[in-house]
Amino acid sequence: MMSRTSIFAAALLAVFASACSHAPVPAPVDLLHLSQDDRRLLAGVWEYEDGAVVTLTLDEQGHGAYAWKEGRFETTALSGRTWQGRWLQKENDREGGFLVELSTDYSEGDGRWWYTRIGSDRAPADKGGTFHLSRKATVTTLRENLPAP
């Protein structure tokens, strides 16, 4: 029979292993002092809504991963409030592009996505769809909204 110390150590190891298996959350970026074409505006955690909600964690280049079908999200351009890129899903062997029009404060946006490949088909008939993105609150955002002590 395991001792309480062994059970605690095993539980702690499981927590650390779980934490290490996820992509690190990028450090908060001061959005007020960036140019509108600086991809660091995209860094952080976003919620992608297209029927279901999927969490995206993006780095300072606007690249990141999502859990659905081992997905990757890659930014190819940010010009003003227009965000363009591509997505890839390893598990179901699909990829495509996306275009998002962001709000003036870069906290959310509406977009559309399309397929560029499904398996070996490089001209798929499936058209894609629309989605909504919203930035999850960051530590910086929360700190700015708290009342002074």
0.85 surpassed by pTM: no
Listed residue (133, 117, 110, 111) closest to 53, CA to CA: 133
What pLDDT, on a 0 to 100 scale, did the predictor assign at position 114? 96
3-state secondary structure of 70: helix
* Side chain identity, residue 126: D
Q: pLDDT for 89-141, tens place per residue?
A: 999 999 999 999 999 999 999 999 999 999 999 999 988 999 999 999 654 44
> Does residue 22 carry a pLDDT above 60?
no
What confidence category does residue 16 fall into, taking pLDDT thresholds of 50, 70 and 90?
Answer: very low
Q: Please say if the pLDDT value at position 25 is more than 50.
A: no
Question: Which class for 62: exposed (0-12), middle (13-18), buried (19 or more C-beta within 10 A)?
Answer: buried
Q: Are the C-beta atoms of 60 and 24 separated by less than 8 Å?
A: no
Question: Average per-residue pLDDT in the chain?
Answer: 77
Q: Report the candidate in 32, 50, 53 with the shortest Cα–Cα distance to residue 41.
A: 32
User: Is it the case that residue 29 has pLDDT exceeding 80?
Assistant: no
